[in-house]
Structure 1
Amino acid sequence: MNGRLLTTPMVVGNNSSTTPELLRCFHDDDKFKYSAYTFTYLLLFPVAFLGNIGALVVFFQQSSRRSSASCMVMMNLALSDGSFSLTLPLRLAYYFQGGVWHFPDWLCRLCVYGFYVNLYTSILFLTLLSVLRWLAVAQPLRHRALTTPTRTLLVCLSVWLFVGVSSAPFLSNGVISRDGSPRCFEPSSPSSWGRVLILNYVALALGFLLPFLTIIICYSRIVRRLMIHTGLHDNSLSSKARLRNRRRSVHLVTMVTVTFLLCFLPYHVIRTLHLHAVCGRWNCDIMLALQRAVVVTLCLAASNSVVNPLLYYYSTRTFRDKMRDAQSSLSFRRGSIRSARVLMRRRNTT
C-alpha cells in the first residue's frame, strides 16, 4: 500500500530467499522509476502549489459562501492538495540525488504518510461533494437542514481523523540503508509484505470501492432527475435557474468520476496485482512490468492534486467570477504601472 513499498519490492520469506538475482530483478529498474518521478513531480509541484494556494485564497474571499457545505469541503480538499505539494521538493531532491536521502528520518516518514493522507482525503472529500450535490438537486429541503456549517465541519474533521489514523502504519518505517546509502520510500523488511497486502484490501474496500460506488449512484440519480425535468417545457426564470444548477451538478459529478477513473482506479488495480505478484513470487519479468505500471499509476494518482483546482473552476460559478475579477484587477494594475512609466518617460524627455 505504501509508495516506498510498492515501487521497490522484496520477496516475502526468510533472508535466504532474497537472493542477489531477485534483488537485481527489483532494483535494476531504479533508473526508470527515478526518471518518471522526477519528470512528474517537476510538472506537478508548481501547478499543484500555486493552484491550490490560489484556490484557498479565492475561497477565503467568498465571505458570503465560505460557510456553505460545498465551499467548506472544497477548502479542505485544497488544503489537502496544497499540503501534499509541499512534500514534492523533498521527493525531487531525493530522486535528483539518485535515490540518496540527505534529510532527517522523520521527514522521510512524513513524505510517505502525506501521500496516503492526501490520496484518501481527496477521495473522501470528492465523494462528499458528490453526495452534497445530489442532495441539493434531489432533496433541497433536506440538504438545507442537514448541511449546517457545524455539521459540515464535523464531517470534514472526521474524514481527516479517519484517514490520518488509518494511514498511521506508514509512519512506522523510515530511512533504511541499501548499498551503503540512506534510502527512503523503500521496504524495511520482506516480512512486511503480507501485512501490506492486508492493508491494501482494507484501503481498496473502504478508501476506493465504497466511495466510487457512492459517486456512481449520485451521478446516475442526478442525470435521471435532470432528464425528467428537461422534458418539462417550463420557460419561467426559476425553472431555468434550477436547470442551470442541475447542469452544473452534472458537470461536477462528471469531473469527479473522470478523476476517479484516471487518477485512482488504475493505481488501486495495479497496486493490488503488484502486491500479489510479490507475495506469490511470480516470474521476475512479470514483477518488473507490474513495478513499472505501479510507478506510472502512482504518478497519475499524485496528479489528482492538479486536477482538483480545475474542478473548483468549472463547477463553481462564484469561483470563476472571483478568478476573473482577480485577473481583471491584475490586468488593470499592470496597465496602470505601464501608463505611469510612459508618463514618467515623457516628463523626463520634456
Structure 2
Amino acid sequence: LIKTFRQRSTFHIYMMNLAISDLLCCLTLPLRVVYYVNKGHWYFGDFLCRISSYALYVNLYCSIFFMMAMSCTRFIAIVFPVQNLKLVSEKKAKIICACIWIFICATSSPFLMSGTKEVGNKTKCFEPPSGTDTRKLVILNYFSLVVGFSIPFLVILICYTGMIWTLMVNSGSMKKQKSMQTKAIRMICIVMAAFLISFMPYHIQRTLHLHFLMKKGSSCDDIVYMQKSVVITLCLAAGNSCFDPM
C-alpha cells in the first residue's frame, strides 16, 4: 500500500481505509494486554479506558464494513464487468468510506459511556456493567450482531458465491485459464473461512456472556470462565488484520 500510495483505484481506496482501521485497532490492543497481564487492574485513567473501548469497536466494525465494500467491488467487477465502469468510481468509493466511518463512529458512541470502576482495591476497565445497564448492553450487542456482523457476512457470502458461480460458468478450455480460476476460487474460500473464524466466535461468545450475566445464581468461577472466553475470541477478531491483504 505504501509503494502504491499515489495510485488511485476504487479497490485501493478501500484497502487504504481498511489498513488505517486495522492499524488503529491494533494500537488499542497493548493497553488491553497490560490490563489482563496485571490480572484486571487498570493503570491508565478513566479517559484512556473510555477511548480504548470506543476505538476498538469503531475500528473492528469499520474493518468488517470495508471488507463488505471490497467484496461488493470485486463482485461487480467479475459478475458485471461491463456495468463496472458506471457503478464503481473513486468518488463513490470515497463517499462510501466516509459514510462508513461516520456511521460506525456514531453507533459506537455508547461505548464512550463505559469508563473505569472501583472493585475492591482494583480499578477495572473493559468489564460489563450490572443491573439495568446490562440490559442496555444486550440491546447494543444485538444491534452490532445484526448490523455489524450478520448483514455484512450475508452480503460478503452472496458476493463471493456469485463470483464463484461466474468463474465456474465462464471457465475456459485453456489449462492456464482454468488454473487461474481455480486459484481465485480457492482464495475466495480462504477469505470466507478467515472471516468466519475471526468474527463469528467473538460475536457468539459475547452474546452468550451477556445473557449469562443476566442469569441469576451464576457462580464466580462460571463468570470468570465466560469473561476469559470472550477475551480469547476477541484475540481471534483482532487477528483478522493479518489476513486482510488477501
CA apart distance, 1:95: 3.1
Residue 306, structure 1, aligned to residue 246, structure 2: no
Q: Structure 2 vs 1, CA of residues 302 and 146 (structure 1 numbering), >3 Å: closer, same or farther?
A: same
Q: Which runs of 5+ in 2 are unaligned?
A: none
Q: Structure 2 vs 1, CA of residues 201 and 153 (structure 1 numbering), >3 Å: closer, same or farther?
A: same
Q: Which runs of 5+ in 1 are unaligned?
A: 1-55, 312-350
Q: Structure 2 vs 1, CA of residues 286 and 87 (structure 1 numbering), >3 Å: closer, same or farther?
A: closer
Give the one of 270, 280, 288 matched to 2:205. Answer: 270
Question: Who is 1:256 aligned against?
Answer: 191
1:126–1:256 contact (8 Å) kept in structure 2: no
Write the deviation string for residues 89-114 of structure 1: whole angstroms up to 9, x where unpaired.
32233334333222232111111111
What's the secondary structure of 1:303's corresponding residue?
Answer: helix
Q: Structure 2 vs 1, CA of residues 158 and 80 (structure 1 numbering), >3 Å: closer, same or farther?
A: same
TM-score (norm 1): 0.64
Following the alignment from structure 2 to structure 1, what is the Cα–Cα distance between the partners of residues 73 and 229? 34
CA apart distance, 1:283: 4.2
1:69–1:149 contact (8 Å) kept in structure 2: yes
Considering Cα pairs closer than 8 Å and 6+ residues apart, tell me whether 1 or 2 has the greater RCO.
1
CA apart distance, 1:59: 3.8
Following the alignment from structure 1 to structure 2, what is the Cα–Cα distance between the partners of residues 59 and 82? 18
Partner AA of 2:210 in structure 1:
L
Question: Who is 1:137 aligned against?
Answer: 78
Cα RMSD for the two superposed structures: 2.3
Following the alignment from structure 1 to structure 2, what is the Cα–Cα distance between the partners of residues 248 and 132? 19
What's the secondary structure of 1:141's corresponding residue?
Answer: coil
Question: Who is 1:150 aligned against?
Answer: 91
TM-score (norm 2): 0.89
1:130–1:253 contact (8 Å) kept in structure 2: no
Residue 173, structure 1, aligned to residue 108, structure 2: no
1:176–1:183 contact (8 Å) kept in structure 2: yes
Following the alignment from structure 1 to structure 2, what is the Cα–Cα distance between the partners of residues 263 and 282? 32
Q: Structure 2 vs 1, CA of residues 295 and 103 (structure 1 numbering), >3 Å: closer, same or farther?
A: closer
Aligned pair count reads 245
Residue 233, structure 1, aligned to residue 168, structure 2: no
CA apart distance, 1:85: 1.6
Matches within 5 A, 1:32-47: none
Flag as ranges the 4+ runs of structure 1 deviating above 6 A.
none
Following the alignment from structure 2 to structure 1, what is the Cα–Cα distance between the partners of residues 156 and 71? 6
Question: Who is 1:292 aligned against?
Answer: 228
